[in-house]
Amino acid sequence: MKIAIPHSKPTIDSTDVKTVAAVIKSGYLTQGVKVAEFEKKLARYIGVRGAVTVSSGTAALHLALLTLEIKKGDEVIAPTYVCTAILNAINYTGARIRLVDVNPEDGNISVKEVKKKITRKTKAIIVPHMFGMPADIYELVKLGIPIIEDCAQAIGATYKNKKVGNFGVLSIFSFYATKMLTTGEGGAVVSNNLSLLNKIKDLREYDHKNDYQIRFNYKMTDIQAVLGINQLAKLKTFIAKRRKIAAQYNKELSHCDFELPVTRKDKKGVCFRYVIKVKRGQSRYFKYFKREGIICARPLYKPLHRYLRLKGFPVAERLTKESISIPIYPSLTSSQVASIIQKTKGLSQVR
Ligand SMILES: *Cc1c(COP(=O)(O)O)cnc(C)c1O
């Protein structure tokens, strides 16, 4: 049987393998010089004063919330159309999540809906840039509430030529296997506020402290960091490759009877996902793609309001029912891209 084209896949080369092996051979496996180097390079890439790496995007969100002193009795606004990592991080602190609906065009948090949910207790807004496309961050910043930018899917994306990660009081990243760049598992918090970053550095590790308070073991290892350094050096080509594939999809699929992702002049996304929207019942399309050797997925497994059994998020409901994410990643070959285009064109024949 033909091997199916996976929905997503990390891009790993021989340099990655060699340098990771060298760290292992060196015997210095935990957080050390490679972590420090990765942090420096990450901060420089984003254009901020500092970066602190941690063990995951979830850990980054958790420490960002704690550093803003968010606790029980506080409220944090977040979109419903996002993974449970955000719900978990807020719940770790004891604060209450206030869910808002999203925009139909791009699945990003709706500024209009955010305004309706702000109360005296609102201490932060978590703003993810979904599928690699920047959210309406300029308008959100104007609301005057601390913003945690969630750049887990969008490293390298720009809005009016400014990179995401520059807008939040704190901004977080994930380097999970299938994100824009990977360290296996991993994450980071970046900021221009060095005192907030120092607090995050303090909270991520427990050893050699003079006082006692609850701290965590959220460190990244040098094994991961060296992979991150290599991947960051290749990010520009990763993004270029993704944009090239997206441009091919846009061109070849423009006459089909499903919706394509929006493109905008002022926002340059990084094409983390390529999401098409179909009219009725996507499950038969998933089956069709699978039969044809292409693994497609819902870009978001389940919106948060469904887990929390809340009603009244019509846009997120619609996106959940209509969205299909087709494969897009730097290691797709041109014949794989051609095959994805051909089979996606065939969707209109599926009954
Ligand atoms: C992946 C992701 C996270 C969580 O990151 P982990 O490294 O898996 O903990 C958080 N927010 C968004 C938007 C993500 O895509």
**Which residues are CB-contacts of 231 (< 8 A; sequence separation ≥ 6)?**
11, 16, 175, 181, 182, 183, 238
**Residue 281: pLDDT above 90?**
no
> What is the rounded average pLDDT of the residues 254-279?
95
pLDDT given for residue 116 in this prediction: 98
Dist CA 166 CA 135 (whole Å) = 13
Percentages of the chain per state (helix, strand, coil), in multiples of 5: 40, 15, 45
pLDDT given for residue 348 in this prediction: 81
* 188: exposed, middle or buried (Cβ count in 10 Å: 0-12, 13-18, 19+): buried
162-163 and 158-159 beta bridge pairing: antiparallel
pLDDT per residue over 196-206, tens digit each?
999 999 999 99
Angle at 135 between CA 132 and CA 137, to 5 degrees: 135
C-beta of 152 in contact with ligand 1 (< 6 A): yes
**Measuring CA to CA, which residue among 123, 235, 106, 197 is closest to residue 159?**
106
pLDDT per residue over 23-37, tens digit each?
999 999 999 999 999
Q: Torsions phi, psi of 276, nearest 5?
A: -105, 155
Look at ligand 1, atom 14, and give the residue with the nearest C-alpha. 152
Pocket test for ligand 1, best of 150, 272, 273 (most atoms within 8 A of CB): 150
Task: Locate 240 and state its tokens.
Answer: 């270029």
pLDDT per residue over 39-70, tens digit each?
999 999 999 999 999 999 999 999 999 999 99
Cα 58 to ligand 1 centroid, rounded to whole Å: 6
pLDDT per residue over 83-122, tens digit each?
999 999 999 999 999 999 999 999 999 999 999 999 999 9
C-beta of 187 in contact with ligand 1 (< 6 A): yes
pLDDT given for residue 33 in this prediction: 98
Bridge partners (DSSP) of residue 297 are 325
> What is the rounded average pLDDT of the residues 295-316?
97
Dist CA 327 CA 270 (whole Å) = 14
pLDDT given for residue 1 in this prediction: 58
pLDDT given for residue 301 in this prediction: 94
Dist CA 38 CA 133 (whole Å) = 24
pLDDT per residue over 118-172, tens digit each?
999 999 999 999 999 999 999 999 999 999 999 999 999 999 999 999 999 999 9
> What is the rounded average pLDDT of the residues 282-306?
95
pLDDT given for residue 54 in this prediction: 98
**Measuring CA to CA, which residue among 5, 3, 113, 2 is closest to residue 337?**
5
Cα 127 to ligand 1 centroid, rounded to whole Å: 12
Strands of 158-159's sheet in order across = 162-163, 158-159, 267-268
In Å, how far from its chain's centre is CA 87? 14
Look at ligand 1, atom 2, and give the residue with the nearest C-alpha. 152
In Å, the largest CA–CA distance within the chain is 68
